Amino acid sequence: MARVLVAMSGGVDSSVAAALLRAQGHDVTGVTLKLWGGAQDSGCCAVSDVEDARRVAAQLDIPHYVFNFSDDFTRNVVEPYVDAHARGATPNPCVACNRTMKWGRLLERTRQLGFDRLATGHHARLVTTPHGARLARSADAAKDQSYVLALLDASQLADTMLPLGDLTKTEVRAHAAQLDLRTATKPESMDVCFITKGGRQTFLDTRVPRAPGRIVTAGGVDVGAHDGIDRFTIGQRRGVGVALGERRYVIDVDAATSTVTVGERRELMRDRVQLDDVVLLDKPTNEQPLTAQLSAHGVPVACTFRAHDRVVHFRAPQPRVAPGQVVALYDGDVVVGGGIASPTG
C-alpha cells in the first residue's frame, strides 16, 4: 500500500477519490489548495469548499491540511492568463493550473513530504505500458478530463493516481451517497475559479490596458471599431460588433496593430495547426493515424503529427484553433502528448 496525498477540492469527485483509496488500504491524507484570494463564486478556494473538504476528510478519518499557494497561482496561472489575452491569444487556465500547481507545486510538496503518490478526482485513466504509465480517456466519455491533463509528462504520471478513471459520474455520486458524504449532491463547478460567473470581461478590463483598434475583412475593408483585442477570440461569431448581412467569424487577431479580422466560415477553416510547448510521451511517426481533441469538450478529429516541425495535419479541414488553446493527441484512447496552438498557425 502507498502513502497518498489526495487533492480535495471540496467536490464529490475528489471526496470519492479519497474514500476509494482509503477503502483500498492506502495511507491517505487530504489537502486543499488555497489558490485565489480575490472575488469568486466557483472553484476550490471558497471558504465553503475548504470546509466541505475538511468535513469529508473527518468523516473518512483521514488527516486534512490546507496549503496556501496563492502567490504561485497568481504568478503561474493568473498573470499568464491576462498576458495571453493582451496578446490576442485564448489561454486555458485549467491546463496551466494542472501543470504548474497540482502537478507542479503540489507534486513537489508531495515528494518533499515523503508521500508515494499524488491523487486527484479527475475523470481519466492511467494505463500501464512497456514505457511506463500513460494517460487515457475515462470510462465516462461525457465527463472525460484527459484533455486538461494531456500536457503532463512521464515523470508526473509515474507519481499519480486517478481512482475515478473506471467509474461514471453516476457511479461516483452513488458511491458518495452510499457513504453519506456531504458532497454527494453538490453541483459541479465548471467555471474558471478566479473569475466570477459572467465577469470575464470585467476581470480583464481592470488588468489589460485599453487599446482601441479596427475590425476589417480578410480583404482589408474597414467594417468597424473595437476597444480592445482581449474581447475577441478566433472562431467567435456573437458579439463581434459588425453587421454585414451574413454571418462573420473572427479569423485573426493582430495584437501589434490592434486589428481584428472577420470573415466567412470558409475563411476560418484550416488543414493544420502548429504547436508550441509540445509534450510527447511516445513519439509518433509522421504518418501514424492519431486523433486530436481541440477543446475540452470537442469531438476528436483524425490527424497525423510531424514532430520535427510540430505540425498537426487534419484529415479534413477544421475551424482554426485559437492561439493559446491546447491540442491533445491520442492513439486510440491513450494520450500521446499535445501542445499549445501557436500564433503562427
Q: What is the reported pLDDT for 196?
A: 79
Cβ atoms within 10 A of the Cβ of 198, count?
9
Mean pLDDT, residues 264-279: 97
What is the Cα–Cα distance from 21 to 1, expressed in whole angstroms?
Answer: 10
pTM of the model: 0.93
Supply the pLDDT for residue 241: 80
**pLDDT at residue 188 in the model:** 84
For β-strands 222-226 and 213-217, DSSP reports them as: antiparallel
Lowest mean pLDDT among 116-125, 151-160, 190-199, 227-236: 190-199
**What integer is the mean pLDDT of 42-62?**
85
Give Dmax over CA atoms of the chain in angstroms.
Answer: 67
Buried b (16+ CB within 10 A) or exposed e, 284-315: beeeeebbbbbebeeebbebbbeeeebbbbbe
Give me the mean pLDDT over the 177-206 stretch. Answer: 88
Q: Which alpha helices (DSSP H) does the chain contain, by range?
A: 12-23, 47-60, 70-73, 79-86, 93-97, 107-112, 154-158, 169-178, 200-205, 265-268
* Between 179 and 190, the higher pLDDT residue: 179
| Packed helices 47-60 and 12-23: angle between N→C axes, nearest 10 degrees | 20
The question of whether 97 is a catalytic residue gets the answer yes
Would you call 94 a catalytic residue per the annotation? no
In the set 44, 45, 94, 193, the catalytic residue is 193
The active-site residue out of 44, 45, 97, 303 is 97
Residue-wise pLDDT for 273-316, tens only, equals 999 999 999 888 888 999 999 999 999 999 999 999 999 999 99
The pLDDT of residue 43 is above 70: no
The residue with cell 491513450 is 334
Phi and psi at 193, nearest 5°, equal: -65, -25
Angle subtended at Cα 81 by Cα 13 and Cα 52, rounded to the nearest 5 degrees? 25
Question: Is residue 123's pLDDT more than 90?
Answer: yes
- Whole-number pLDDT of residue 48: 83
Residue 339 pLDDT exceeds 80: yes
Q: Please, what is the average pLDDT of the chain? A: 94
The pLDDT value recorded for residue 181 is 96
> How high is the pLDDT of residue 45?
58
pLDDT level of residue 105 (50, 70, 90 thresholds) = very high
